[in-house]
Structure 1
Amino acid sequence: MRKTTAFAGLGLAAALVLTGCSATAEEPMDESMSEEPAVVDTVNSDGAALRAQLTALLADHVYLAGAAIDQALADGGDLETADVQAAVATVDENSVEIAALVGSVYPDAEQPFLDSWRSHIPFFVNYTLGKATGDEEMAAQAVEDLNGYAVSFGQLINSVVPELPAEAVQGELEMHAVSLLAAIDANLAGDPEYFSLLKEAAGHMPMTATALAGGIAANAGIE
């Protein structure tokens, strides 16, 4: 790109000399003719920063949720132990950070987003406890709740960012739920595959972050 621009500039200069159109002191050459076109920095741009922050926070969400559930299982399903409470508090801190990032663009949406995001985390806990205790009805209800949440969350995001179709956001949340539930099942079964499944669940987050950040950037005019 730069070599092509440089050769074009040389050609223009040669043409000016041959035709006797060189610049004089009274008529300075327009400096804009030699300027390179503006280039948008897609690596250090605000849009890239938004995508990177969302990716990191959403990936953390998966690992922190997995750690909290693992701790709850280690403590026999007792959600009131100090270790479980500490793990749950860390998950909530992550939720607050995600909501704050959304709020940095849409201040009025920060609290509704946080309330909605917080509401889906207990469904994973209910699924885990249901499976661990053999309460299939509880586990099935948790899956149904997660499916319903994906729909409502998609509608919430679409109401704030029309560029993001509710169905697309719903699909991202459903993928998140299915992949994390698969990891939970492996954990309950004592399957060492749990770790790779949890990694796989976290690996879906960059795609989710890219979709969300892209829609937000388009809506808010962020480059």
Structure 2
Amino acid sequence: MRKITAFAGLGLAAALVLTGCSAPADEPAEEPTAEMEMDEETAAVDTVNSDGAGLRATVQGLLYDHVYLAAAAIDQALADGGDLTTEDVQAAVATLDENSVEVAAAIGSVYPDAEQPFLDSWRSHIPFFVNYTVGKATGDQAAVDQAVSDLGGYAVSFGELINSVVPELPAEAVQGELEMHATSLLAAIDANIAGDPAYFGLLKEAASHMSMTALALSGGIAANAGIE
């Protein structure tokens, strides 16, 4: 059994650098005008820490985590020979489920009644990736085909669920985002099973797609709920 190094985490950091200009010393300072005061008021609007930006950042971070935590759980299952009952696999799956709860809570912070239906739906697609992995690793093509079909069906139903809550998000658009998520993560799983070093780059690519999904979800929610 090949040795697989599981992912321990991923950190992201960002910094904003603000620069300013001043008038030359030999020129008189410009008197404030009404237009300047209006510009200052406009500049004072905090778009970085706004509710809309916060929602997008939260959803994006959680969806990034989802990809890596799912990969870690699958990776551990492969390392344990496909035994899903080992302590390590169970711990990885539990951590992944905590992430699912957090994603649902982010949606529920805007739509409380939708939190549980979202969680139930989101949880349901994770076993399909497990089924695909087991089928691929054991050469069971029927199981692989069924898992791919199940993921396709889930993308449709998830799109319809989101559209029922957020009409601003077309079901087909949400479906497309989920299909991309599945396709990119399955490609990474294939590489992992084959022992292909491309696995790491493919996993990074799968995670990067989550920014588009987060933008679509948070943008539609913000528009529907009037969040700026």
TM range (shorter): 0.7 to 0.9
Partner in structure 2 of residue 135 of structure 1 = 140
Q: Could you tell me how far 1:49 is from its partner in structure 2?
A: 0.4
| Corresponding residue SS for 1:43 | coil
- Mark the runs of 5 or more structure 1 residues left unpaired by the alignment: 13-32
Q: Any runs of at least 4 consecutive aligned residues in structure 1 with deviations exceeding 6 A, and if so which?
A: none
Q: Higher helix fraction: Structure 1 or Structure 2? A: 1
Partner in structure 2 of residue 125 of structure 1 = 130
Measured in 1, the distance between the counterparts of 2:136 and 2:36 equals 69
Match runs of 1:152-167 below 5 Å: 152-167=157-172
For 2:47, give the aligned amino acid. T
TM-score normalised by length of structure 1:
0.85
Q: Could you tell me how far 1:143 is from its partner in structure 2?
A: 0.2
Q: Could you tell me how far 1:35 is from its partner in structure 2?
A: 4.1
User: Within the alignment, does 1:46 sit opposite 2:48 as a pair?
Assistant: no
Match 1:36 to one of 32, 35, 38 = 38
Match runs of 1:7-156 below 5 Å: 35-36=37-38, 38-39=41-42, 40-156=45-161
CA deviations 1:61-117 (Å, max 9, x no partner) are 000000000000000000000000000000000000000000000000000000000
For 2:59, give the aligned amino acid. L
Measured in 1, the distance between the counterparts of 2:110 and 2:194 equals 42
| Corresponding residue SS for 1:36 | helix
Structure (1 or 2) with the larger CA radius of gyration: 1
Partner in structure 2 of residue 30 of structure 1 = none
Measured in 2, the distance between the counterparts of 1:138 and 1:89 equals 24
Partner in structure 2 of residue 183 of structure 1 = 188
Measured in 1, the distance between the counterparts of 2:37 and 2:139 equals 71
TM-score normalised by length of structure 2:
0.83
User: Within the alignment, does 1:199 sit opposite 2:204 as a pair?
Assistant: yes
From the superposition, tell whether residues 34 and 134 of structure 1 become closer, same or farther in structure 2 (CA, over 3 Å): closer
Partner in structure 1 of residue 14 of structure 2 = none
Partner in structure 1 of residue 15 of structure 2 = none
Q: Could you tell me how far 1:41 is from its partner in structure 2?
A: 2.3
Partner in structure 1 of residue 222 of structure 2 = 217
Number of residue pairs aligned between Structure 1 and Structure 2: 199
- Mark the runs of 5 or more structure 2 residues left unpaired by the alignment: 1-20, 23-28
Q: Could you tell me how far 1:9 is from its partner in structure 2?
A: 5.3
Q: Could you tell me how far 1:43 is from its partner in structure 2?
A: 1.1
Partner in structure 2 of residue 173 of structure 1 = 178
Identity of matched residues, %:
78
